[in-house]
Chains A and B, each alone.
Chain A
Amino acid sequence: AIQMTQTPSPLSASVGDRVTITCRASQGIGNELVWYQQKPGKPPKLLIYAASSLQSGVPSRFSGSGSGTDFTLTISSLQPEDFATYYCLQSYNYPYTFGQGTKLEIK
Chain B
Amino acid sequence: QERPVQSGAEVREPGASVKVSCKASGDTFNYYMNWVRQAPGQGLEWMGIINSRGDSTSYAPKFQGRVTVTRDTSTNTVYMELSSLRSEDTAVYYCVRDQCSSTSCYPLLWGQGTLVTVSS
Chain A residues proximal to chain B, CB less than 8 Å: 1, 30-32, 34, 36, 38, 43-46, 49-50, 53, 87, 89, 91, 94-101
- B61 lies within 8 A of A95 (CB): yes
Cα distance A31–B101 when bound, in Å?
Answer: 12
Q: How far is the CB of A60 from chain B (nearest CB, A)?
A: 19
Contact A44 to B104, CB < 8 A, known contacts A94-B58, A96-B34, A96-B49: no
Cα distance A101–B60 when bound, in Å?
Answer: 19
Q: How far is the CB of A49 from chain B (nearest CB, A)?
A: 5
- Interface residues of A, dominant DSSP: loop
The answer to whether B44 has its CB under 8 Å from any CB of chain A is yes
Number of chain B residues whose Cβ lies closer than 8 Å to a Cβ of chain A:
24
Instruction: Name, among A31, A32, A96, A97, the residue most crowded by chain B CB atoms within 10 Å (CB to CB).
Output: A96
Instruction: Name, among A36, A44, A87, A101, the residue most crowded by chain B CB atoms within 10 Å (CB to CB).
Output: A44
Q: How far is the CB of A51 from chain B (nearest CB, A)?
A: 9
Contact A46 to B106, CB < 8 A, known contacts A1-B61, A95-B58, A96-B49: yes
Q: How far is the CB of A67 from chain B (nearest CB, A)?
A: 12
- A100 lies within 8 A of B43 (CB): yes
Interface residue stretch chosen among B68-76, B80-88, B109-117: B109-117
- A50 lies within 8 A of B104 (CB): yes
Chain B residues proximal to chain A, CB less than 8 Å: 34, 43-46, 48-49, 58-61, 94, 99, 101, 103-108, 110-113
Q: How far is the CB of A62 from chain B (nearest CB, A)?
A: 16
Top 7 A-B pairs, shortest CB-CB distance = A43-B110, A95-B60, A94-B58, A96-B46, A91-B106, A101-B43, A34-B106
Cα distance A38–B43 when bound, in Å?
Answer: 10
A31 — which chain B residues lie within 8 A by C-beta?
Answer: 103-104
- B103 lies within 8 A of A50 (CB): yes
Cα distance A91–B101 when bound, in Å?
Answer: 12
Instruction: Name, among B49, B59, B105, the residue most crowded by chain A CB atoms within 10 Å (CB to CB).
Output: B105
- B58 lies within 8 A of A101 (CB): no
Cα distance A32–B48 when bound, in Å?
Answer: 17
Kindly identify which residue among A43, A53, A100 contacts B113, using a CB–CB cutoff of 8 Å.
A43
